[in-house]
Amino acid sequence: MDSKDFLHKLLLTPSPTGYEQPVQRIVRDRMKKYADSIETDLHGNVIVALNPKAPRKIMLAGHCDQIGLMVRHISADGFVYVAPLGGIDVGVLHGARVTIHAEKGPVDGIIGRKPIHAQTGEERERTRNDIEKIWIDIGAKNKKDAERRVQIGDVATFHLSVVEMANGLISSPGLDDKVGLFVAMEVLRICSTKKLNVGLYAVSTVQEEVGLRGAQTSAYGINPEVGIAIDVTHASDNPGNENPKVTPCKLGAGPTICAGPNINPVVEKMLKDAAKKTKSAFQIAPSTRLLGNDANTIQVARGGVAAASIGIPNRYMHTQVEVCSYRDLELAIKILVQFVLSVNSKTDFRPM
């Protein structure tokens, strides 16, 4: 399986938060021939390691979970009502294709909507962001018919598909954060052919979308010295982002290297040096706040971890048409491989 196939497989496999097992199986399968060890912890994180006996440990985290929906009610006439799993944008659900991942197999459905002709002005406004007004139509005749296919508690995602666009752009639901997961695993795969001075742990973390939870448990378990989250970051190069106070972030201009209180300054500098050494374009992403990704909980695991974050520019986050650039993935992989190789026994990550 080549790398692009692996990425596409991740994107086409459902992993709504808390129900990540299908995508974790793909990760274990793909990585077994490159890893020295692979473990699945009790929380569901998949921990892929190289050189695990080394005294110094570096953790790379890419979260495998994606936002989704959970079935909470089936009406007498067979329509399926849902609650959000993670930060779903209800505004983009109207008219969307979805898949309910039921026990007997996937059930396709669509999210219906009262035709615009029939909506009052007030209705248009009121239903826009109200998940209670959303229903999935699976074509069932009635409740009994629906229940033969779908059960309360089943989870759903947007219909999973990959669209290849001009200029090396790709669109798919769940690019957040299957691209980060992909980068973490590719770095480990490439490092498996090199001599390492450190133990390298690529972690497919669970439950990021509901509170950065898999990174918290896996960082505790691994107890690394350095932990780098690889996650999508908001691109600003599409309409609607004309805010001069926001640091620009362009698709295809390289991954971002974050700065701020959530970031260890030694790791940040080494990442920038790694980018320069490999002639890889990157963008600077300053944040005065703690990050809304795995770097947040990794930093304060146990006695503290030298945390950092690499961002993959992403348009339309948390919709079914998220967009990323292949080029940013390639550059992120190059930078991280160089970073891992540059750590030696003398490297001191303590901020001094």
Q: Does residue number 176 form part of the binding site for Zn ion (CB under 5 A)?
A: yes
Q: Does residue number 186 form part of the binding site for Zn ion (CB under 5 A)?
A: no
Size of the site for Zn ion (CB under 5 A): 3
Q: Which is nearer to Zn ion, 191 or 235 (CB)?
A: 235
Query: Residue 27 contacts by C-beta under 8 Å, 6 or more apart in sequence?
Result: 10, 46, 48, 64, 181, 185, 204
Q: What token pair was written down for 345?
A: 């026994």
Query: Which range binds Zn ion by CB under 5 A, 22-30, 152-160, 173-181, 267-275?
Result: 173-181
Q: Which is nearer to Zn ion, 176 or 225 (CB)?
A: 176
Q: Does residue number 322 form part of the binding site for Zn ion (CB under 5 A)?
A: no
Query: Which range binds Zn ion by CB under 5 A, 3-11, 103-111, 144-152, 172-180?
Result: 172-180
What dihedral do alpha carbons 190, 196, 201, 204 form, nearest 10°? -10
Which residue number is nearest to Zn ion in terms of Cβ? 177
Q: Which is nearer to Zn ion, 177 or 225 (CB)?
A: 177
Closest CB 12 distance from Zn ion, rounded Å: 18
Closest CB 99 distance from Zn ion, rounded Å: 20
Partners of 230 in beta bridges:
310
Letters for 122-161 (x = contact with Zn ion by CB under 5 A, - = none) are ----------------------------------------
Q: How many CB atoms lie within 10 A of CB 199?
A: 21
Q: Work out whether the CA dihedral 5, 315, 287, 292 comes out positive or negative.
A: negative
CA distance 81 to 58: 43
Closest CB 6 distance from Zn ion, rounded Å: 19
Closest CB 18 distance from Zn ion, rounded Å: 15
Closest CB 109 distance from Zn ion, rounded Å: 25
Q: Work out whether the CA dihedral 245, 211, 179, 54 comes out positive or negative.
A: positive
CA distance 94 to 99: 14
Choose the catalytic residue: 208, 209, 225, 268: 208
Side-by-side strand order, sheet with 163-164 = 163-164, 169-171, 323-325
Q: Which is nearer to Zn ion, 176 or 322 (CB)?
A: 176
Q: Which is nearer to Zn ion, 231 or 322 (CB)?
A: 231
Letters for 34-53 (x = contact with Zn ion by CB under 5 A, - = none) are --------------------
On whether the CB atoms of residues 251 and 235 are closer than 8 A, the answer is yes
Closest CB 318 distance from Zn ion, rounded Å: 9
Told to judge if 330 belongs to the known catalytic residues of this protein, a careful annotator would answer no
Q: Which is nearer to Zn ion, 11 or 270 (CB)?
A: 11
CA distance 271 to 151: 47
φ/ψ bin of 211: left (φ > 0), alpha (ψ from -120 to 50), beta (otherwise): left
Among 260, 261, 255, 263, residue whose Cα is nearest residue 338: 255
The residues in 214-253 that bind Zn ion, with binding defined as CB under 5 A, are 231
Residues recognised as catalytic: 208
Residues that bind Zn ion (CB under 5 A): 176-177, 231
